[in-house]
Amino acid sequence: MGVVNTTPDSFSDGGRFDSFDMAFGHARRLIDEGADMIDIGGESTRPGAARIDADEEIERTVPLIRALREVSDIPISIDTSKAEVMQAAVAAGATMINDVWALRQRDALETAAGLGVPVCLMHMQGTPETMQRDPRYTDVVAEVIEFLAGRIEAAQRAGIPRERIMVDPGFGFGKTIAHNLTLLDALGELRELGVPLLVGLSRKSMIGKILDKPADQRLVGSITLAVIAAMHGADILRVHDVAETADAVAMLRALREVQA
Ligand code: 7PJ
């Protein structure tokens, strides 16, 4: 899954892709590089980032989804928590909802169910504004699994069939470096939830902190974590550097073939 941010203040693109042309060109490049899916987000969830209203989020994402639909059949996921944005994005051609709030915002659950597209339910402790202040868990793995199991149940009760649900432990969303690494190491346990696992580690601040490197120098760290996640059973990798990650995953796939 290749990430296309349309936010002027996104985590790691630093506003480089804030205009339509830049975002469109970037998305096309990720498709050429071998992305199986594109994730388009219009609201930054970076710690402390300001919230924007649905109209602005729609203005940033819908023209891009429409334009991509004209040139490609690639699955497009909309990274949003707002029911209005989900609706507009799917009408424009998005085929999946990726929600860092796991459909806990107003009308999100019912709207996603009505739209009939697959959903990714992500764990987050707290809110984007405050989540990195002092994240605490007694048992981070057990608590993330319990949360995700609860959200799977809520989604199913709202009418989203299990076959359309995937989950994500939400690396960096209300988690210290130790929490992130513990979750990465225990990723296999999340497979017991019985739905596909999506993970996003690409360029995250954990890499920056461990390597003491800014976002544009986290490629090797990102690839390394992507490979580890894939080895531990991740099904979908949400990444910025598609070509490089695709090569890394191809090596792992070759290994799997001799193991099979
Ligand atoms: C994630 C996401 C993630 C899912 C973002 C960033 C921050 N969606 N949206 N998982 N992260 N499912 O890309 O660094 O980890 S925005």
Q: What is the pLDDT of residues 163-207, one digit of tens each?
A: 999 999 999 999 999 999 999 999 999 999 999 999 999 999 999
For the question of residue 238 being annotated catalytic, the response is: yes
Closest residue (by CA) to atom 16 of ligand 1? 45
CA of 135 to the centre of ligand 1 (A): 17
Q: Do 180 and 228 touch, CB atoms closer than 8 A?
A: no
Length of the chain counted residue by residue: 260
CA of 114 to the centre of ligand 1 (A): 24
Which of 16, 187, 238, 242 for a ligand 1 pocket mutation test, highest count of atoms within 8 Å of Cβ?
A: 238
- pLDDT value of position 18: 52
- pLDDT value of position 9: 53
* pLDDT single digits (tens) 52-93: 899 999 999 999 999 999 999 999 999 999 999 999 999 999
Give the 3-state secondary structure of residue 166: strand
- pLDDT value of position 10: 46
Helix or strand run (H / E) with residue 168: strand 165-168
**Active-site position among 69, 238, 253, 256:** 238
Q: Which residues line ligand 1 (CB under 6 A)?
A: 3, 11-12, 45, 79, 98, 100, 120, 122, 168, 170-171, 198, 200, 204, 238
Closest residue (by CA) to atom 10 of ligand 1? 200
CA of 194 to the centre of ligand 1 (A): 21
pTM: 0.95
Which of these, 47, 33, 35, 45, lies nearest to 5 by C-alpha position? 45
Which of 1, 3, 131, 148 for a ligand 1 pocket mutation test, highest count of atoms within 8 Å of Cβ?
A: 3
Which of these, 67, 53, 52, 55, lies nearest to 20 by C-alpha position? 67
**Active-site position among 82, 175, 204, 218:** 204
The ligand 1 atom at the shortest distance from the C-alpha of residue 172 is 15
Closest residue (by CA) to atom 3 of ligand 1? 200
Which of 12, 17, 168, 242 for a ligand 1 pocket mutation test, highest count of atoms within 8 Å of Cβ?
A: 168
pLDDT band at 136 (very low <50, low <70, confident <90, very high): very high
For the question of residue 204 being annotated catalytic, the response is: yes
**C-alpha distance across the termini of the chain, in Å:** 25
Q: Do 138 and 118 touch, CB atoms closer than 8 A?
A: no
* pLDDT single digits (tens) 238-258: 999 999 999 999 999 999 999
Integer CA distances (angstroms), 212 to 104, 157, 177, 204, in order: 34, 44, 13, 12
